[in-house]
Amino acid sequence: MTVLLIGSGVVGSQIANILVEQGTPPVILDYSPQPEALADNVDASKVTVVRGDIMNPFDLTRAMQNHEITSIIHTAAYPMLTVGAQANPYAAVQINVVGTLNVLEAARTFGIERVVIVSSGVLTGQMAGGGDDGDAAKEEAFPRPTTFYAATKQAAESLGVNYAKWCNIDLRAVRYAAIAGPWRGAGGGEPSNTFRSLVQQAVDTGAVNVPARSLEWVYSKDAAMGTVLALQSENLTDRIFNIGSGVMSDGEDMATAFTTAMPDVAVRVQETTLPPELQPRTQALDLSRSRAQLGYDPQYDLAGAVADFAGWYRKQKK
């Protein structure tokens, strides 16, 4: 089995590391490879990195032909996720929707049987509607995304499910909670970059102000393992799986996590005002389907994520 891993950022680099450790190193397709950042998380000598753009079908074609690809994990997305899509909706739709369409069409053309695409837990929060008592004959029966990013993820899932139904592609989609994880390169969403800044601040200054917002975090290593499980699991009865921690954490929970992981750091909760598109979800992702069908079991609670990231960052500083 040769996996084409599209994107090698916060989670993609961890997916690559798991596949290398399993003895099935992937071929990485990336629009703008970051070899030094990638090497922090995986033995870069054991992966093949190809510069390519999912907006160019010929880049996908060359990668599949030259490396005899048998399956795909597609993690690429428009930078800064919700924030980026709100600022530049046209570009976000191109990358997140049309780019995913190109990946699915390439898989159909080359007979790639199994594809995993990355979706988002925002689809459980950034939604409105679903009225009219669910009567499909009425206009407001179906919920609609309230942000451009959520709209792109709903569209990508819908495209994937239909490619599975009509084109014989074994499609699986994974919906991530807010990602936290070790990464020094560019990319990632607003939560990922915020978490990185908090850990760096705590290590560098011995003090940290954590925001009072409420989020469900998932550590990048758990997200990566959930994604690999989605790729490798057999006899699934469903196609879309939540990959999170299953726990909502507010500012006080974040403060407790930092105090537990870094007892010598002074921690303070700071009130923040979020833009409307970043208003938090009110409940955590339900992991029961992922646990039952994928065997997914997150290994990092919030304190464990802080401790692991801080250890990684101290090592990088040296």
Tokens coding 157 = 């899932």
- Structural domain tally of the chain? 1
Which pLDDT tens digit goes with each residue over 12-46?
999 999 999 999 999 999 999 999 999 999 999 99
CATH code of the domain containing 104: 3.40.50.720
Q: What is the pLDDT of residue 272?
A: 83
Q: What is the pLDDT of residue 279?
A: 67
3-state secondary structure 38-96: HHHHCCHHHCEEEECCCCCHHHHHHHHHHHCCCEEEECCCCCEHHHHHHHCHHHHHHHH
Residues 73-99 have a mean pLDDT of 97
In a domain, 317, yes or no: no
Cα separation, 249 vs 177, in Å, equals 12
Tokens coding 152 = 């792109």
In a domain, 259, yes or no: no
Q: What is the pLDDT of residue 278?
A: 74
* More confident: 127 or 76: 76
pLDDT for residue 194 is more than 70? yes
Q: What is the pLDDT of residue 187?
A: 92
pLDDT for residue 83 is more than 90? yes
pLDDT for residue 280 is more than 70? no
End-to-end CA distance of the chain: give it in Å, rounded: 37
Q: What is the pLDDT of residue 201?
A: 97
Q: What is the pLDDT of residue 134?
A: 87
Tokens coding 32 = 């703008």
**Least confident range of 29-33, 211-215, 234-238, 243-247:** 211-215
* More confident: 184 or 129: 184
Residues 65-86 have a mean pLDDT of 96
Residues 255-276 have a mean pLDDT of 93
Phi, psi for 111 (deg, rounded to 5)? 70, 30
Q: What is the pLDDT of residue 81?
A: 95
In a domain, 129, yes or no: yes
Q: What is the pLDDT of the chain when averaged over all its residues? A: 96
Under 8 Å between Cβ of 25 and 46? yes
Cα separation, 8 vs 172, in Å, equals 19
* pTM across the whole model: 0.97
Q: What is the pLDDT of residue 309?
A: 98
In a domain, 194, yes or no: no
Q: What is the pLDDT of residue 90?
A: 98
Angular region, 75: left φ>0, alpha ψ -120 to 50, beta rest: alpha
Which pLDDT tens digit goes with each residue over 125-175?
898 888 898 899 998 888 999 999 999 999 999 999 999 999 999 999 999
Under 8 Å between Cβ of 47 and 26? yes
In a domain, 242, yes or no: yes
Under 8 Å between Cβ of 35 and 11? no
Range of the domain at 45: 3-187+217-246+284-300
**Least confident range of 46-50, 81-85, 233-237, 271-275:** 271-275
Cα separation, 311 vs 317, in Å, equals 10
In a domain, 159, yes or no: yes
Q: Could you tell me the sign of the dihedral formed by the alpha carbons of 167, 112, 96, 280, in that order?
A: positive
In a domain, 307, yes or no: no
Look at residues 261, 250, 247 and name the one whose alpha carbon lies nearest to residue 305.
Answer: 261
In a domain, 270, yes or no: no
